Amino acid sequence: MTQYLTTPEHRRIAHDLTPGTGPTVVFLGGFRSDMTGTKAVDLRDWAVVQGRAFLRFDYSGHGVSEGRFEDGAIGDWYEDARAALSLVEGPVVLVGSSMGGWIALQLARAMPDRVVALVGIAAAPDFTEDLMWASFDDAQRAQVMAGAYPLPSAYGEPTPITRRLIEEGRNRLVLRDPLRLPFPVRLLQGTADAEVPVSVALRLMEHAESSDLRLTLVKGADHRFSSPECLALIRQTVADVAG
């Protein structure tokens, strides 16, 4: 059942907490996604059957949380996720999809004592800088700096890429400094992902300091990573690291 939490930054975010045994599995959704997405719901249903504690939520400006998407930035959504974690006690398994993978890495860096495993699904660390800003031409960059650039989206209306999103994102980068992940890390990536290329997963794998990091490539899977086979792989991967 959806409930609401007011974060320390005074943003009201929606969440759904399924009680069960720990460690709690926490799903972190992607850019402009929400907690009713296919992967979040499938994993919630799995957790219910397993009797596993599970938390999903909507960042501010996403789903049924309050706020406007175009007012938000990576740091806001990281703060939302950190506030959501206050709803559960004890260790957590972070499952981050796309942008959620970047936010999961920030949480892991900030509170490594609470994170016992991390699963990235087409994880997109530093995407505002490396996948957006780096690919924009001069005219697009000028639009961003003037306020916002309407980035065409395969999923519906254009996405407003704001100056604040780009500039604030530079304070949240995780691939420029040491990134120690002292727990099992599993990265799942489709080879046909047009939004987050395989090179991103390979770069993260090379950069992170971890004694137990594995990357699984699924031939032909796209960015949604939501086919029955991909969903089954997500469930099995989470089960393996959650214990």
Please give the positions annotated as active site.
98, 193, 223
Q: Are 187 and 221 in contact (CB under 8 A)?
A: no
Q: Are 123 and 185 in contact (CB under 8 A)?
A: no
CA proximity to 15, closest of 62, 51, 48: 62
Q: Are 121 and 195 in contact (CB under 8 A)?
A: no
Both structure tokens of 177: 């400094």
Residue 3 belongs to what H/E stretch?
A: strand 3-6
Kindly report the number of other CB atoms within 10 A of residue 145's CB atom: 13
CA distance 66 to 74: 16
